[in-house]
Each structure stands twice: as structure tokens, then as C-alpha cells.
């Protein structure tokens, strides 16, 4: 039971103990104050007293628990806990957090910028928590990093941000269950590709219709398709004599770099442009536009 609670609440052993103490002390304080207030009404006995006591305790319990949680350093956990309870009671499920998985194969610079946009460290649990994004739509949080390369830089990015990782095998990903049971177990609602080099199988696309997006370092439909990634794209752009390049953010379908375009941003090529200098320009566009666009897209996820 304790192991399941730790996993469900994303807390360590120390915080789990403090959470139990908060529940116990908060409940005791609530009961004491409830009896004290009831004595003032002179309705301590009889059905009316029982009903009034239940009402008083119900109203006092959240306040008592929050007070104790401050003293024990668990305020962040209980604030979110009570928000979830209120959301269930009021039926406001549309305000629940959208859980996002980032698929990446490389250094993870785009993943890092996206994480900075949506997540921030939780000092109490040493985990990541949702970053406030206003009241325009549901809040989103990066909760899983999926990677196909052991030792890829994005795994260190995930570790630094206290985000869980999933290292995947090609046969299972392309020909097996596509790791869908694990994605569902993590409650993933949306998938972001950030330098992920494998083609997304049809099974995942069907499971997440219009909920998978990718960023390509060129202006599609030019310089896209199988094998076109990283420096190869920039080399092709320069070899073609293009005067402009840029980024394309698009929905993912069964073909490489083919889904409906959501946004394109451009940059000019200089006379002495090299793949390295062009890559720097593209990175600036990626970091500027990808996190901001994802924030807008995720506000409309259902």
C-alpha cells in the first residue's frame, strides 16, 4: 500500500510520513475545534447537535489540514490535493492537468526549453510540478521523456528536471505494442516530438489523433522525409541554393514530415552560410516558437 501511495503521490519516504502526520494532526485539530464550537451552541446532544457537528467539521477540515501542512512543510502537496478534491466535487474536471510526453533522441535542447515553459521544481517532493499558466485553459505538465538512445543528452535533461524516462526498444516500438500500455499507465494525453528520429507507428497515431506534434528544421515540404534530420537538412538547404530556411511545426501522421502544418517561421541565409551557422539560426527559432505554440495548443486539448 505504501509503495503505491508513494508512486501515486510522487513522494519519498520522509514526505509520505509527514503527509500521514498532517492528516492525523489536522483531523485531531479539526475534531477539537468542532467540539469547542459546538459547545457554544448548547446543542451538544441530540440529532441537531450531530448534524451541526458534521457541518462544522466538514468546513474546518481543509483549513486545519492546510495549517498543519504549513508547519510540517507539506503545504504544496495538500494545496494540490484539496484542489483535486474540490474539482471532483464540483465537476470541474476540465481544469485537471494535461500530461505530456516528449519523445527525443538527441541532446534535448528543445526538450529543455519546453520543460522550462511548463514545469518547475517542487521543493517538498523533489519532483516536478505544474507551472502556472493563467486561466485560459487546462494546465499542462511534462511528465515523461521517451528516448531511443542510451546515453542521449535528453536523458540528463530529464534527470535534472526530475522527470521520469522511458528507454525504448525498436522492435517493440515499431512492431509490438508500441509501449502504449506504459503511456496509458502514465496518463499521457499529448505527445511532443523534439528531435525524435524514429517514425511514429500507426498504432500510436490512432491512439492519439491530432495529439502528436513534431518540429522539423526546414520549411516543409522542402527538405523533409526519411533520413532528413539535423545537419543533413541544413546541408541540403545550402546545396539547393535556398535563400531562406526555418522551422515547421506540424501534426504527425503515418508519413515522415507530412502532417498538417501548424506554424512556420523563417530565417535568411547569408552568402557564406554553413550548416553550423544555419543550425544556430534554426535553434533560435525552435526555442522561441515551439514552447509558445505548445502552450496555445495544449489549452484546447480535451
User: Catalytic residues, which ones?
Assistant: 216
Q: How far apart are CA 19 and CA 8, in angstroms?
A: 13
Q: How far apart are CA 297 and CA 182, in angstroms?
A: 24
Other C-beta atoms within 10 Å of 146: how many? 26
For 182-189, the CB contacts below 8 A with 24+ separation are 183/101, 183/144, 183/207, 186/99, 186/101, 186/143, 186/144, 187/99, 187/143, 188/99, 188/100, 188/101, 188/143, 188/144, 189/98, 189/99, 189/100, 189/301
What DSSP letter does each residue of 109-141 carry, written as one string?
A: HHHHHHHHHHEEEETTTTEEEEPP--SSS--EE
Amino acid at each position: 500500500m505504501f509503495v503505491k501511495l508513494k508512486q501515486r503521490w510522487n513522494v519519498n519516504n520522509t514526505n509520505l510520513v509527514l503527509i500521514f502526520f498532517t492528516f492525523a494532526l489536522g483531523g485531531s485539530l479539526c475534531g477539537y475545534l468542532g467540539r469547542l464550537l459546538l459547545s457554544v451552541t448548547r446543542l451538544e446532544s441530540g440529532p441537531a447537535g450531530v448534524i451541526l457537528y458534521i457541518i462544522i467539521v466538514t468546513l474546518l477540515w481543509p483549513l486545519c489540514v492546510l495549517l498543519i501542512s504549513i508547519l510540517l512543510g507539506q503545504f504544496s502537496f495538500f494545496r494540490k490535493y484539496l484542489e483535486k478534491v474540490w474539482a471532483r466535487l464540483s465537476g470541474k474536471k476540465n481544469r485537471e492537468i494535461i500530461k505530456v510526453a516528449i519523445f527525443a533522441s538527441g541532446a534535448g535542447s528543445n526538450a529543455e526549453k519546453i520543460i522550462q515553459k511548463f514545469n518547475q521544481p517542487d521543493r517538498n517532493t523533489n519532483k516536478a510540478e505544474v507551472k502556472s499558466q493563467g486561466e485560459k485553459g487546462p494546465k499542462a505538465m511534462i511528465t515523461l521523456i521517451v528516448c531511443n538512445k542510451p546515453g542521449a543528452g535528453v536523458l540528463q535533461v530529464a534527470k535534472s528536471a526530475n522527470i521520469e524516462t522511458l528507454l525504448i526498444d525498436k522492435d517493440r516500438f515499431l512492431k509490438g505494442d508500441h509501449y502504449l500500455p506504459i503511456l496509458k499507465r502514465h496518463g499521457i494525453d499529448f505527445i511532443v516530438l523534439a528531435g525524435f528520429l524514429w517514425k511514429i507507428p500507426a498504432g500510436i497515431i490512432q491512439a492519439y489523433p491530432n495529439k502528436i506534434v513534431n518540429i522539423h528544421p526546414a520549411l516543409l515540404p522542402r527538405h523533409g522525409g526519411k533520413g532528413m534530420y539535423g545537419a543533413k537538412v541544413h546541408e541540403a538547404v545550402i546545396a539547393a541554393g535556398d535563400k531562406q530556411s526555418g522551422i515547421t511545426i506540424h501534426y504527425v501522421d503515418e508519413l515522415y514530415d507530412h502532417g498538417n502544418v501548424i506554424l512556420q517561421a523563417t530565417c535568411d541565409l547569408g552568402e557564406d552560410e554553413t550548416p553550423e551557422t544555419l543550425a544556430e539560426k534554426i535553434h533560435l527559432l525552435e526555442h522561441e516558437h515551439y514552447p509558445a505554440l505548445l502552450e496555445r495548443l495544449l489549452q484546447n486539448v480535451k
